[in-house]
């Protein structure tokens, strides 16, 4: 079984904090940027217990799906995204192709 290193959580926090309003990243994308491409599930677990002042609403699954475990469930996640001007469809998905954020290459190292 693979394990993340001791600083993984802090790197995840830094990456999530940098996601701009109106954009999203996937759990897998955050995991890969934090140095463990296989750790999307771990990013989700960190989101459930991480600081509430981080924009966790901007993290979705690879199909753009919202999180059942978000405070308030799918509806709570949808409400948080709508407050940022992000459209969520009736299946609780965002347009991942349009909204996916990839930090500029030169800035990636500063997120970690």
- The alpha-helical segments, DSSP class H, found in 19-102 are 27-33, 40-49, 73-82, 96-99
Q: What is the CATH architecture assignment of 8-99?
A: Orthogonal Bundle (1.10)
What's the whole-model pTM score?
0.89
Q: Tokens 């970690």, residue?
A: 112
For the stretch 25-46, pLDDT in tens is 999 999 999 999 999 999 999 9
Q: What is the DSSP letter of 58?
A: G
Q: What is the DSSP letter of 59?
A: E
- For the chain, give every domain's residue range: 8-99
Model confidence band, residue 103 (pLDDT cutoffs 50, 70, 90)? confident
């Amino acid at each position: 079984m693979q394990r993340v290193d001791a600083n993984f959580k802090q790197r995840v926090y830094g990456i999530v904090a940098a996601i701009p309003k109106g954009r999203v990243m996937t759990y897998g994308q955050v995991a890969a940027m934090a140095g463990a491409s296989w750790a999307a599930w771990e990013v989700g677990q960190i989101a459930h217990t991480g600081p509430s002042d981080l924009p966790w609403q901007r993290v979705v699954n690879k199909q753009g799906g919202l999180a059942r475990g978000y405070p308030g469930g799918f509806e709570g996640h949808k409400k948080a995204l709508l407050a940022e001007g992000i459209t969520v469809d009736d299946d609780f998905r965002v347009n991942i192709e349009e909204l996916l954020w990839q930090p500029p290459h030169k800035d990636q190292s500063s997120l970690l």
